[in-house]
Structure 1
Amino acid sequence: MATPHLKPAMQPSPLQILVGDPAMLSTTHLPSLQALAVQIQYNLQHQHHWTDLRVHTHSPATNELLPRPLLSGLPPQRLYVHPDEQIELLKDAERRRRASQKEGEDKGSLDVKADPEREWILPTRLSEKWTLRRLNDVFSGITLVPPAAETLSKEKDRLANPWRTTKRLVLATVDSDSTVVYYIVHDGVVKPRQN
């Protein structure tokens, strides 16, 4: 006999299903850190249109356990352009614009575009205290560029960016209300960007 005064159970959200999926969690890190990595992965994929997102529990350089799970992925557009590369891209775009004007095509604007690059992502919570030592431990476990997935042969064939000379990662910080803020963090001092 059904009881009409009881409400039906609420269905879990797609994120709750993903975080609760045992196949998504490993036994190498605390479940809270693993769930945080999956939450950031979900946000990057569905809100920011990143592709080829992978969770890393071990260093690709040494195969040792990382201090916490990290992500890697490909953003829809380049996140950081080195200042010297920015100058070269502008010069190249100006040459292309002048050549198109000589051919009779009227292109009044510069078309400057840098191909996206794979990035490391460090999932964190706003309540965590980060020190230079903790960041150094993370940087020690990563490579200059995250390894590409085996299925992306086109990306394997692409030459490495000669302007990328220091390690960097995207610090993904989640607040208690699930707001995510992203910062680019470099390992060491880098030349400031020109606007």
Structure 2
Amino acid sequence: MTRTEHMKPAVLPSPLSSLIKDEALRSQPSHLPSLHSLAIQIQHNLQYQHEWSDLQIHTRSSFTNELLPRPLLSGLPPQRLYIHPDEQIELLKDADRARKARGEEEGGTLDVKAAPEREWILPARLSEKWTLRRLAEVFDAIAVVPPQPESEDMEEDRAANPWRTTKRVILATADTDSTVVYYIVQDGMVKPRQN
């Protein structure tokens, strides 16, 4: 009698584990392998769960070409993540003028559109302790807007959007069960949003 019915089936690696292993073989990460694999995990989550595009991993500062404190990502979300309060007022005024120009009545809805902007993403683990000093090290190494995918050169440290004047990162916090929570963290004092 064979004992095949009592044997455990072979365990296949998950697609994410395979992706991390393949990336590790292809590239020579300059950070700890755990930080590099975390960046790949967050990249995978953003691309396939949240429909981000133009994602890339950055290991060096676009200013000094020195090693970043840890790998960062940049990418384009499917919609705008943050609208400055003053920009929000201008967008509402523009939408109201457009509605009046079309001859619609006052009670109709306003069609407010804000184009998505490239964002920095800071991969982190839930168990990590973040201090203002550690966040400041990250902000000191980045530009206001991430560089475009085709050029790592960031000669201009300003956004195409005149309202985007402070640096911000999306803190992507991954837990041990692979859930990821995203927070917007801005450098310095920021005017509160209006509801």
Q: TM-score, normalized by length of structure 2?
A: 0.89
- SS at structure 1 position matched to 2:103: helix
CA contact 1:100–1:106 (8 Å) conserved in 2: no
1:1-195 equivalences under 5 Å are 4-5=4-5, 6-21=7-22, 22-23=24-25, 25-101=27-103, 108-150=108-150, 160-195=160-195
Letter aligned with residue 63 of structure 1 = N
CA contact 2:29–2:36 (8 Å) conserved in 1: no
- Size of the alignment, in residue pairs? 185
CA contact 2:31–2:71 (8 Å) conserved in 1: yes
CA distance in 2, matches of 1:16, 1:25: 16
Q: CA deviation at 1:8?
A: 3.6
Q: Which residue in the other structure is 1:156 paired with?
A: none
CA distance in 2, matches of 1:140, 1:44: 24
Q: TM-score, normalized by length of structure 1?
A: 0.89
Letter aligned with residue 62 of structure 2 = P
Structure 2 residue runs of 5 or longer lacking an equivalent are: 152-158
CA distance in 1, matches of 2:166, 2:73: 18
Q: Which residue in the other structure is 1:155 paired with?
A: none
Indicate the percent of aligned positions where both proteins have the same amino acid: 69
Q: CA RMSD, aligned part only?
A: 2.0
Structure 1 residue runs of 5 or longer lacking an equivalent are: 152-158
